[in-house]
Amino acid sequence: MAETRIVVVGAGVSGLTTALLLSRNANYKITVAAKHMPGDYDIEYASPWAGANYLPISVEGTDLAEWESNTWTELERLARLHPEAGIHFQDAALFNRTKHLEGGNASALVAPEVSDPWYQKIVPNFKKVPKNHLPPGYDSGNTFTSVCINTAIYLPWLTSRCLEAGVIFKRAIFNHISEASNAHHSGKKADLVVNCTGLLAGKLGGVEDKNMIPARGQTVLVMNKGDGLMYSTSGTDDGDEEVCYTMGRAAGGGTLLGGCYQKGNWDSQPDPNLAVRIMKRAIGICPSLTNGKGIEHLNIIRHGVGLRPVRIGGTRVEKEKINDVWVVHNYGHGGYGYQSSYGCSQAVVKLVEEVLKVRAKL
């Protein structure tokens, strides 16, 4: 059977996961070409800034729910069998206030059906928190076993698995998506291109998706350890764009405190006032971080800012012919790029097969 040459544009979690799943077909010869690679920290590169945890935000019956559900299977397997991937199990505690859930100003990072979510069928140990165990001021809550991904380990791990499978990596910047078909490491034209360019899909020639907007996320990474739970809340008292979460990263990765969800904000610099509010909210929900003391007892490793690649209308996983080049899109994963990564990439693999069938008939 003739070889198929594929160029994946983008080396964030979407591009790397897609390249990894495609590389399971020995017939596919894959180049990953990107401006940013694992190890880089840049405002145009969302993946390193993520928490990252598994906290589905989809509505049952949607494509996203299917992608998130399929991703749990793989993240759970990696947490169980592959400690070197930097993913570990961690119980999540999600606390809600009725005023957020019914007031239309709930955090964009929790599912609309947060009190009774579809994912209780797939994650282990899903329980409702008894009223007398809720922190003061909260009306309901759930706990379940989730995973937390140390992105500083996981992105290089994905890269290594791709390299092991023969994927070739190279730096490149494309002005138009069709240029990527000339970037295959063989020097020959690629049979198809996979577009995993995240937020920059809004600016890339041939794509220029006007539905792409950033949702700015600011974080504080600290050395302090909490009580072993990952906390999230349905909202905060500091405005609709602010959110509250804590995540203990695997393998000495520290505890990530967040955050905010500021739509349309491209600012790459941490706001010091917001950082103070993030830390105050974090020790409010998880006092064990500082043994009940103030934020001056947090040992800060780094302040961070990342832009979630939000697509109005949802993630685009679709095939399209652009200037005679077949392109399969996989971008616009907002605040759920890790927790939907395997599901989306599996869908891409199917679309690639469809494109190749169409090409074979010509």
Q: Who contacts 217 (Cβ-Cβ below 8 Å, separation ≥6)? A: 49, 258, 259, 260, 261, 262, 305, 306, 307, 308, 335
Contact mark string toward ligand FAD, 246..265, x via CB under 6 A: ------------xx------
Q: How far is the CB of 293 from ligand FAD (least distance, A)?
A: 26
Residue matched to tokens 């890790």: 338
Q: How far is the CB of 226 from ligand FAD (least distance, A)?
A: 16
Q: CA geometry: angle at 238 spanning 237 and 240, to 5°?
A: 90
Distance between CA atoms of residues 82 and 119, nearest Å: 23
The alpha carbon of 163 is separated from its chain's Cα centroid by a whole number of angstroms, namely 22
Range 74-113, binding ligand FAD (CB under 6 A): none
Distance between CA atoms of residues 124 and 59, nearest Å: 19
Closest to 340 in 3D by CA, of 64, 119, 76? 64
DSSP 128: E
Q: Sign (positive/negative) of CA torsion 71, 152, 126, 234? A: negative
Which residue lies nearer to ligand FAD by CB, 9 or 295?
9
Range 281-300, binding ligand FAD (CB under 6 A): none
Interaction between residue 331 and ligand FAD (CB under 6 A): yes
| Helix, coil or strand: residue 118 | helix
Q: How far is the CB of 255 from ligand FAD (least distance, A)?
A: 13
Residue matched to tokens 């200037």: 323
Which residue lies nearer to ligand FAD by CB, 248 or 337?
337
Contact mark string toward ligand FAD, 172..201, x via CB under 6 A: xxx---------------------xxxxx-
Q: How far is the CB of 68 from ligand FAD (least distance, A)?
A: 9
Neighbours of 87 (CB within 10 A): 30
Contact mark string toward ligand FAD, 2..41, x via CB under 6 A: -------xxxxxxx------------------xxx-----
Which residue lies nearer to ligand FAD by CB, 195 or 360?
195
Which residue lies nearer to ligand FAD by CB, 64 or 298?
64
Q: How far is the CB of 72 from ligand FAD (least distance, A)?
A: 11
Report the amino acid identity of residue 137: G
Q: Count of residues binding ligand FAD (CB under 6 A)?
A: 42
Which residue lies nearer to ligand FAD by CB, 163 or 358?
163
User: Which stretch, 43-51, 125-133, 222-230, 319-327, contacts ligand FAD (CB under 6 A)?
Assistant: 43-51
b/e 48-70 (16+ beta carbons within 10 angstroms → b): bbbbbbbbbbbeeeeebbbbbbb
Interaction between residue 52 and ligand FAD (CB under 6 A): yes
User: Which stretch, 87-95, 263-271, 275-283, 332-340, contacts ligand FAD (CB under 6 A)?
Assistant: 332-340
Residue matched to tokens 């990564």: 341
Q: What are the C-alpha distances in Å from 113 to residues 101, 116, 119, 123, 200?
A: 9, 6, 10, 15, 31
| Single residue of 117, 206, 306, 343 touching ligand FAD by CB under 6 A | 306
Which residue lies nearer to ligand FAD by CB, 134 or 172?
172
Q: How far is the CB of 132 from ligand FAD (least distance, A)?
A: 29
Instruction: Kindly list the residues in this chain that would bind ligand FAD in the complex (CB under 6 A).
Output: 9-15, 34-36, 45-47, 49-53, 172-174, 196-200, 204, 217, 219, 258-259, 306, 308-309, 331, 333-339
